[in-house]
């Protein structure tokens, strides 16, 4: 780590020597070990030794950034020169800035050193468990990795953070088959710092595999209806990204297309909704410790009791738009659970749909969305009434948040997020 | 990059295993303006070496962000150790892959690394033109992106190669407002194969595209939501190319066939109307260079065209050397890796539906009540062939004539069912190459097609 700190300091000196008024440097190295299963068979074991060097310089209000995957002395020198050349040709904008010095810290968390034999054992055990308990499931691809990363962030205001961190990531893609009949492909992912538990009991793996087997036989929707949509936690993550990018993201604010512009302190969602971004939540693995701007990361509430409290703005957004900078730049969403079990949530729906995956176009900036409901079930009179095929859903993201009809009481924790099932009213469901 | 470094290291390849050694550099230069604000100004470069070893039916791989002799030796050693680890725990008792004839191919171009200043000046001038000419826009964005992949590959047997794949594009995003104040977007892209200095001589070259985009955006601001349900539509070439890539192409990648795609049960069967022929082109199509030409892949297989659907019959898959052996097919050079630290995967190159003999005007005139869909911002498909495309631009067709513009919608269907409904195919095709295909790794790909008359489910609202 001392070598990385030394490199960062030398890079900042080189940037200043080239004429930077302010500058920052991210430098680091990582080792990744990864096992792959393809088409049900172990296929690949790979080891990646990687490095990164990201230099940003601001001179006369002009900013330039250079990224390299090496940090030897010669590369640092050349990158600093290139960075200033890039900045010199840019357009000035006084909103560019770097973080002030607050409190420098060294972080170490997770599991920096992998236990590869144990990791492979857990992979093999998962494949065997699936073969025994979910015999119709074919593992299209399984990617299981451990990454150890050492990184340093420093800037010319004296900011200097370091971090050593390691985590295991598991990503599964699978489908279920019976003769020539097949389910849609489905995915399940989680991140963990422990190999104590079998992978089958992590995240939502067991339920996702079980659902895939139930999705071989499908029914269609006749015509269209307006009903309730319950999103699984993994599908909710996708909808949250769409919503926040279009309404609370810096791009939407800068372009002026966000319908939430100027609505801090106003109600934008049902009172049941409290959405936080919490990298320090103990259930989150490898959460952000330093923001992309170089501030110490902190948890924050984006929406509390339906009221918008923050945008997802950077330091640039703060200076450019006069909005408050977000206290972290992660996607570690934590949503306050409700008071119903998933079964009670389903039982409360007269007609609707439980959506496991959304295959849709990028929603419009006004929040209109439409797409295919994949890995989804029809709900009729409070009961699941079969897996669906060729079924489309459409609605508006802003309207949806104001029409939450229920939130489940137990969040699914996958190491990146802790989210429950959420039910939304007023969704159009249409078949062929 | 010089080639002496890798060729000398062939002596270190293990007997009884297939080894690939690759030195690679990826560059990206990107400049973004949003409403005149310079929100992006980045130069990125990654470079390194990797080795992959195939033994006993499993692969070991290692990469390092260096290009020294020591790094080459380290990755060869680590890849062999990884293959041995996996062989011990999950070996499949297989021998070497069927050998390929030795060869050497150098198609690398001398790429000019354009100064960042030129990207910025160009983007600024295009942005200022938009601001000055169309002040009523809600927002505007101009993004310039130039990327390149340079590879040097040596293999145990097959073709050793040096190659380069440069692309450069200007992306234009315009946003207007409907009468009730809702934002409406439309985007277009200019550019293709080649470095920025070759493709873009003057900012004024982009102005006609800006003007056309603005006109269509105004129409879209007055537009209507399409009616939901199954409709007769004309899919423009951009959408039929997307269909070829997303809904059919992925299902006939042999690794996804082994993973249970719908094409596993369809080889030799009718999957489309007899008007549909679909090919994954390597470097030349219909006598011209394709958008992103590939001459040899990362496993040392010389690149040739892969015939996928011939007059409606599914005739082949896209393969790696390993899957080609499994299916008893001939590999056509589809194994490609994105970064030096990525292993080769089966990827499409330039996938297209071939043009037919119908005139677009006659196709539109033949539709009583339907839509002409032109633009898309997104496409996804399942291994079952069920697809969904976001449609961002198009027109109603009423009694054989184009009507009002449409607002954003989604179309969906099942590829091998929908393709059987194609009854007219236009005589002109359109290529696109500005996007990235995602499949564990990103990858630049080309896709193309003519206009198709067919039945699809429209999402509506």
Positive or negative, the CA dihedral B233, B236, B239, B243 is: positive
pLDDT > 90 fraction of chain B, expressed in percent and rounded: 80
Q: Which band of pLDDT confidence, cut at 50, 70 and 90, is reported for residue B1? A: very low
- Are residues A357 and A416 both part of a single domain? yes
- Are residues A116 and A160 both part of a single domain? yes
**pLDDT at B196 exceeding the cut of 70:** yes
Contact between chains at B262 and A90 (C-beta distance less than 8 A):
no
Residue-number span of the structural domain to which A76 is assigned: 2-214
Contact between A89 and B120 under an 8 Å Cβ cutoff? The reply is yes
Buried b (16+ CB within 10 A) or exposed e, B124-160: bbbbebbeeebeebbbbbbbbbbbbbbbbbbbbbbbb
Which pair of tokens denotes residue B149?
Answer: 């992949």
- Answer with the one of A189, A214, A239 that is the final residue of a domain: A214
- Are residues A147 and A174 both part of a single domain? yes
Q: Check which CATH number belongs to the domain holding A79 and give it.
A: 3.30.2290.10
Mean pLDDT to the nearest integer, B177-196: 92
Q: Which band of pLDDT confidence, cut at 50, 70 and 90, is reported for residue B461? A: low
- Identity of the residue in A46, A63, A392 whose CB atom sits nearest the CB atom of B343: A46
Q: What is the mean pLDDT of chain A?
A: 93
- Give the residue, B313 or B259, on which the prediction is more confident: B313
Which pair of tokens denotes residue B179?
Answer: 């009468």
The predicted-structure confidence for B124-147, as pLDDT tens digits, reads as follows 999 999 999 999 999 999 999 999
**pLDDT at B38 exceeding the cut of 90:** no
- Say yes or no: ipTM exceeds 0.90: no
Chain B segment 133-162 residues within 8 A of A by beta carbon are 138-139, 141
- Are residues A260 and A365 both part of a single domain? yes
**Alpha carbons B82 and B60: distance in angstroms, whole number:** 5
- Are residues A247 and A394 both part of a single domain? yes
User: What does residue A101 show for φ and ψ, rounded to 5 degrees?
Assistant: -70, 125
B430: left (phi over 0), alpha (psi -120 to 50) or beta: beta
**Alpha carbons B337 and A118: distance in angstroms, whole number:** 29
Q: Which band of pLDDT confidence, cut at 50, 70 and 90, is reported for residue B260? A: confident
- Of B114, B136, B131, nearest in space to B207 by CA: B131
Distance from CA of A378 to the nearest CA of B (A): 18
CA closest to A392 among chain B residues? B459
**pLDDT at B4 exceeding the cut of 80:** no
The predicted-structure confidence for B10-26, as pLDDT tens digits, reads as follows 888 988 899 999 999 99
Q: What is the dihedral of CA B320, B324, B327, B330, to 10 degrees?
A: 140
Which pair of tokens denotes residue A340?
Answer: 């119903």
The count of C-alpha atoms lying within 13 angstroms of the C-alpha of B137, restricted to the half-sphere facing its C-beta, is: 29
- Are residues A142 and A191 both part of a single domain? yes
Contact between chains at A140 and B90 (C-beta distance less than 8 A):
no
**Alpha carbons A284 and A235: distance in angstroms, whole number:** 18
Assess if residue A219 is contained within a domain: no
- Are residues A203 and A243 both part of a single domain? no
Q: How far is CA A116 from CA A40, A193, A195, B23, B82, in A?
A: 20, 13, 10, 28, 11
Contact between B398 and B231 under an 8 Å Cβ cutoff? The reply is no
CA closest to B41 among chain A residues? A64
How many separate domains does chain A show? 2
- Are residues A179 and A235 both part of a single domain? no
Distance from CA of B384 to the nearest CA of A (A): 6
Assess if residue A87 is contained within a domain: yes
- Are residues A140 and A280 both part of a single domain? no
- Spans of chain A, pLDDT less than 70: none
Can you tell me which residue has the tokens 């992006």?
B40
- Are residues A202 and A284 both part of a single domain? no
CA closest to B71 among chain A residues? A49
**pLDDT at B240 exceeding the cut of 50:** yes
- Identity of the residue in B37, B121, B259 whose CB atom sits nearest the CB atom of A93: B37
**pLDDT at B29 exceeding the cut of 80:** yes
Contact between chains at A361 and B390 (C-beta distance less than 8 A):
yes
Highest mean pLDDT among A84-93, B40-49, B418-427: B418-427
Task: Please count the other Cβ atoms lying within 10 Å of the Cβ belonging to residue A185.
Answer: 24
B179 in contact with A at a CB cutoff of 8 Å?
A: no
Which pair of tokens denotes residue A119?
Answer: 């990791």
B417 in contact with A at a CB cutoff of 8 Å?
A: no
Which pair of tokens denotes residue B412?
Answer: 């969906």
Contact between chains at A359 and B380 (C-beta distance less than 8 A):
yes
Longest dimension (CA), chain B: 71
Contact between chains at B85 and A365 (C-beta distance less than 8 A):
no
- Answer with the one of A192, A214, A236 that is the final residue of a domain: A214
- Are residues A210 and A328 both part of a single domain? no
Assess if residue A315 is contained within a domain: yes
Listed by start position, the domains of chain B span: 4-221, 229-458
Structure confidence at residue B2 (pLDDT) = 44
Task: Please identify, in words, the CATH class of the domain defined by B4-221.
Answer: alpha beta
């Amino acid at each position: 780590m001392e070598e990385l700190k030394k490199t960062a300091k030398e890079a900042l000196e080189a940037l200043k020597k080239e004429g930077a008024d302010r500058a920052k440097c991210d430098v680091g190295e990582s080792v990744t070990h990864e096992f792959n299963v393809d088409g049900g068979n172990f296929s690949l074991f790979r080891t990646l030794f990687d490095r990164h060097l990201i230099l940003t310089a601001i001179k006369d209000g002009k900013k330039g950034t250079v990224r390299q995957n090496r940090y030897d002395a010669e590369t640092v020198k050349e990158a600093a020169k290139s960075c200033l050349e890039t900045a010199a040709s840019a357009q000035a904008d006084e909103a560019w800035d770097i973080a002030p010095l607050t409190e420098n810290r060294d972080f170490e968390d997770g599991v920096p050193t992998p236990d590869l034999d144990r990791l492979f054992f857990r992979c093999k055990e998962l494949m065997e468990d699936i073969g025994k308990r979910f015999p119709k499931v074919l593992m299209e691809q399984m990617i299981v990795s451990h990454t150890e990363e050492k990184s340093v962030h420093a800037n010319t205001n004296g900011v200097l953070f370091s971090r050593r961190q390691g985590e295991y990531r598991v990503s599964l893609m699978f489908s279920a088959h019976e003769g020539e009949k097949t389910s849609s492909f489905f995915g399940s992912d989680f991140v963990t710092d422990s190999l104590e538990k079998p992978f089958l009991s992590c995240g939502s793996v067991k339920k996702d595999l079980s659902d895939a087997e139930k999705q071989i036989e499908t029914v269609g929707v006749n015509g269209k209806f307006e009903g309730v949509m319950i999103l699984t936690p993994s599908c909710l993550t996708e909808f949250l990204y769409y919503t926040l990018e279009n309404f609370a993201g810096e791009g939407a604010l800068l372009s002026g297309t966000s319908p939430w512009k100027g609505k801090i302190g106003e109600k934008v969602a049902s009172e049941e909704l409290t959405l936080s971004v919490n990298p320090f939540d103990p259930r989150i693995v490898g959460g952000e410790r330093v923001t992309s701007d170089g501030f110490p990361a902190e948890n924050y509430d984006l929406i509390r009791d339906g009221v918008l409290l923050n945008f997802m703005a950077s330091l640039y957004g703060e200076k450019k738009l006069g909005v408050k900078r977000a206290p972290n730049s992660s996607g570690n969403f934590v949503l306050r659970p409700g008071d119903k079990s998933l079964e009670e949530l389903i039982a409360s729906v007269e007609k609707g749909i439980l959506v496991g995956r959304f295959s849709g176009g990028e929603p419009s900036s006004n929040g209109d969305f439409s797409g295919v409901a994949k890995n989804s079930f029809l709900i009729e009179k409070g009961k699941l009434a079969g897996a669906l095929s060729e079924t489309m859903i459409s609605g508006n993201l802003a309207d949806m948040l104001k029409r939450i009809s229920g939130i489940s009481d137990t969040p699914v924790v996958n190491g990146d997020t802790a989210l429950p099932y959420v039910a939304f009213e007023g969704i159009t469901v249409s078949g062929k | 990059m010089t080639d002496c470094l890798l060729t000398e290291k062939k002596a270190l390849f293990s007997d009884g295993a297939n080894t690939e050694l690759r030195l690679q550099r990826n560059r990206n230069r990107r400049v973004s303006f949003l409403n005149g604000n310079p929100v992006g100004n980045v130069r990125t470069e990654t470079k390194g070496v990797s080795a992959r070893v195939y033994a006993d039916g499993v692969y070991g791989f290692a990469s390092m962000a260096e290009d020294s002799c020591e790094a080459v030796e380290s990755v060869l050693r680590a890849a062999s150790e990884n293959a041995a680890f996996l062989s011990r725990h999950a070996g499949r008792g297989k021998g070497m892959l069927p050998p390929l004839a030795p060869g050497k191919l150098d198609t690398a171009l001398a790429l000019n690394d354009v100064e960042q200043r030129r990207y910025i000046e160009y983007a600024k001038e295009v942005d200022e033109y938009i601001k000055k000419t169309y002040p009523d826009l809600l927002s505007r964005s101009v993004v310039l992106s130039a990327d390149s992949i340079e590879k040097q590959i040596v293999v145990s047997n097959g073709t050793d190669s040096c190659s380069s794949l440069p692309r450069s594009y200007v992306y234009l995003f315009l946003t207007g407002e409907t009468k009730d104040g809702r934002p409406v977007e439309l985007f277009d892209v200019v550019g293709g194969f080649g470095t920025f200095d070759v493709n873009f001589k003057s900012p004024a070259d982009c102005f006609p595209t800006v003007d056309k985009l603005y006109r269509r955006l105004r129409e879209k601001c007055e537009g209507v939501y399409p009616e939901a349900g199954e409709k007769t539509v004309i899919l423009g070439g951009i959408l039929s190319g997307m269909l070829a890539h997303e809904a059919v192409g992925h299902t006939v990648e042999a690794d996804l066939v082994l993973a249970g795609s719908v094409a596993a049960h369809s080889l030799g069967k009718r999957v489309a109307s007899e008007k549909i022929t679909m090919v994954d082109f390597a470097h030349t199509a219909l006598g011209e260079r394709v958008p992103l030409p590939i001459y040899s892949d990362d496993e040392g297989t010389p690149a040739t065209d892969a015939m996928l659907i011939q007059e409606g019959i599914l005739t082949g898959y896209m393969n790696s050397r390993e899957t080609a052996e499994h299916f008893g097919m001939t590999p056509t050079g589809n194994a490609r890796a994105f970064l030096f630290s990525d292993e080769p995967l089966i990827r499409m190159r330039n996938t297209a539906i071939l043009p037919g003999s119908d005139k677009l005007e006659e196709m539109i005139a033949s539709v009583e009540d339907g839509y002409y869909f032109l633009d898309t911002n997104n496409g996804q498909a399942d291994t079952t062939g069920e697809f969904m495309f976001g449609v961002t631009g198009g027109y109603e067709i009423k009694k054989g004539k184009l009507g009002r513009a449409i607002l954003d919608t989604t179309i969906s269907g099942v590829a091998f069912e929908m393709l059987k409904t194609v009854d007219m195919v236009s005589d002109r095709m359109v290529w696109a190459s500005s996007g990235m295909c995602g499949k564990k790794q990103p990858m630049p790909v080309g896709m193309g097609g003519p206009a198709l008359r067919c039945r699809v489910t429209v999402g509506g609202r």
